[in-house]
Amino acid sequence: MDVHEEFGWLAKHGPFYDVSCVTFARSLSPREALTRLGADCNGIGEVTFEEHQERTMRYIDSDNMRTSYVGALEMNGWTVLIQLWTGSIGLNKRLLRSLSQATEVVSIYRNLHATDYFVYAVDSEEVTSFDQLVPDTRWGSDPDRLASEMREVGLSWEGPGIDAPFPRSFALAKKITGFSFSEDMLSTPFLGAAIRD
């Protein structure tokens, strides 16, 4: 089995395949991560994945996508943050700097109608970033930091070309975090809060 195939389930969940941002932050609790993103402490509460989607749509409808709803859960010493249909922690320099201060962050952004990005940041610095369709064109303070891991998961132009860059990006995240972003995780309770993008 190719390394990306375990992430094929992402295509079955419309919001992930359409527009989404999944971000991993090391050594932060879900509450700490949401607070770093500017969430009001009194506005953080437990939600299911279905409630997460409903609240996301409510914010999209009410303020023209200036606010996004973020779901957060803890896994193996990392907090996983999920944004659907709007917003991107990885592409917002202010949020990325705040979240990655004194730790490391991996962020995968998908936009079916635009460009998909992978961002790796350490201690408020963007270390390695790339467009998932053009992974050999990278930027950041150390653009080649993940080059060998990228080759291992098939995010390289060496060969016949790149297929399935989105699930391959999650395979790369697994190399960094040590665990898989799995469909089962969506059935566990999240902490959720609104943040301003």
The pair of structure tokens assigned to 70 is 């973020």
Residues ≥6 apart with Cβ < 8 Å to 89: 21, 23, 37, 70, 81, 83, 95, 96, 99, 105, 107
Question: SS3 breakdown of the chain: % helix, strand, coil, rounded to 5?
Answer: 35, 30, 35
pLDDT tens readout for residues 95-134: 999 999 999 999 999 998 888 999 999 999 999 999 998 9
Which contacts qualify for 29-33: CB closer than 8 Å, 24 or more apart?
Answer: 29/74, 29/79, 30/72, 30/73, 30/74, 30/79, 30/190, 30/191, 31/72, 31/191, 32/79, 33/72, 33/79, 33/81, 33/99
Q: What is the pTM of this model?
A: 0.95
**What pLDDT, in 10s, does the model give residues 74-105?**
999 999 999 999 889 999 999 999 999 999 99
22-58, pLDDT tens digit by residue?
999 999 999 999 999 999 999 999 999 999 999 999 9
